[in-house]
Amino acid sequence: MTINTGAPVVVGVDGSAAALDAVRVAAREAGLRSRPLRVVHAFAWPLVAAPLGPAPFTPPTAGLRGQAEEYVAEAVAEAGKIAPEVPVSGVVVDGAPTSVLLDEARAAALVVLGQRGLGGFAGLLVGSVTVQVSARAGCPVLVVRGEARADGPVVVGVDGSDLSAEAVGFAFEEAARRSAPLVAVHAWLYPAPLAPGDLVPLVYDLAELDAEEHRVLAESLAGWAQRYPEVPVRRRLVRGSPAQALVEESRTAQLVVVGAHGRGALGGLLLGSVSHTVLHHAHSPLAVVRHRPAPTR
Ligand SMILES: Nc1ncnc2c1ncn2[C@@H]1O[C@H](COP(=O)(O)OP(=O)(O)OP(=O)(O)O)[C@@H](O)[C@H]1O
Ligand SMILES: [Mg+2]
């Protein structure tokens, strides 16, 4: 295997404790994937008048720009402690955090973000940068929240849509990489249309539907299970809310994986409602998969 080449794992930092948590997870991820780590701080020029550079007779690190450099340096040092074998670079990029990180995502294998940042307010569950980047990035986004544990299964939410198929592929790859079992959760409440224009019966037989949902789950997993025979898979069919089932599973998971959208993809929505809820309430790190990750084997 080539060591530490190819698209980097990118981690966004803003000087917050949550971003440093993200750095520790990102360093481990880069090590697991044999990829370099790239620490990025987006530096937006403030709207209020403030000294941008150091005032005369102060050290060169004074001022906002210097502070930005310090955020990056601190993160690079932290990553070095966690994964000394991983090459780490750090940059300050001018621009708004969301657009800088979306740009970075184009050339990244994975973008890692903290659940919160320096801004926000006390009750905020997930910051706006994280919500927007996880919904729109061109590569999978790992949101570091809850307990970052090295044991427990990888959990994936399956709804039978194309996007959840991509999430399933990513989840198998992650489970194989971590030598972890995979739990595939498919929850359903009522018959749901699989495609626009599908007709849903007014009267239905629950046992028949159960069998149908079993089939949806089995079909979503079939090809991937063949490709990753070493990954033990547990199927969980739940009659209830998918978001609630995934949040429950996240209590013991090392990673939860969802697609950015599912069956109900509404053009205007940043994230599907299940992904949105899990992003706000998961007890473990969460990967949001929007585009098919490049196959690694
Ligand atoms: N300027 C930035 N440069 C790079 N990454 C950033 C920047 N700002 C935020 N991030 C990343 O996004 C994560 C979440 O921060 P975010 O800004 O979304 O939350 P917040 O500051 O609590 O709330 P908000 O900014 O929405 O008021 C951070 O942990 C970090 O990983
Ligand atoms: Mg912020």
Residue the block writes with tokens 């196959």 = 295
pLDDT digits (tens, 9 = 90+) for 131-150: 999 999 999 999 999 877 88
**Ligand 1 pocket check for 91: Cβ under 6 Å:** no
The secondary structure of residue 98, as a DSSP letter, is H
Q: What is the pLDDT of residue 204?
A: 66
- Whole-angstrom distance, CA of residue 114 vs CA of residue 246: 20
**Residue 133, C-beta contacts closer than 8 angstroms, at least 6 positions apart:** 12, 98, 101, 102, 105, 111, 113, 141
- Residue 71 is part of which domain span? 9-144
Which span out of 74-88, 143-157, 258-272 was modeled with the highest average pLDDT?
74-88
Same domain, 78 and 199: no
Does residue 51 fall inside a structural domain? yes
In sequence order, what are the beta bridge partners of 258?
288
**Of the ligands numbered here, which is closest to the C-alpha atom of 39?**
1
Nearest protein CA to atom 1 of ligand 1, as residue: 42
Q: How many residues does the chain have?
A: 297
The answer on pLDDT for 293 being more than 50 is no
Section 191-217 average pLDDT: 72
Half-sphere exposure of 211 (CA within 13 A, CB side): 5
Does residue 43 fall inside a structural domain? yes
The residue from 106, 124, 144 where one domain ends is 144
The secondary structure of residue 292, as a DSSP letter, is P
Does residue 1 fall inside a structural domain? no
Nearest protein CA to atom 13 of ligand 1, as residue: 114
Q: How many domains does the chain have?
A: 2
Closest CA to 67 of 30, 13, 125: 13
Alpha-carbon distances, residue 175 vs 9, 159, 179, 183 (angstroms): 18, 19, 6, 10
Same domain, 199 and 106: no
Same domain, 26 and 133: yes
Q: What is the pLDDT of residue 174?
A: 96
The answer on pLDDT for 5 being more than 80 is no
CB 13: neighbour CB atoms within 10 A?
Answer: 30
Section 98-109 average pLDDT: 97
- Whole-angstrom distance, CA of residue 84 vs CA of residue 292: 30
**Ligand 1 pocket check for 42: Cβ under 6 Å:** yes
Q: What is the pLDDT of residue 1?
A: 45
Nearest protein CA to atom 5 of ligand 1, as residue: 12
> In which band, very low, low, confident or very high, does the pLDDT at 200 lie, cut at 50, 70 and 90?
low
Same domain, 92 and 186: no
Does residue 267 fall inside a structural domain? yes
**Ligand 1 pocket check for 92: Cβ under 6 Å:** no
Nearest protein CA to atom 7 of ligand 1, as residue: 14
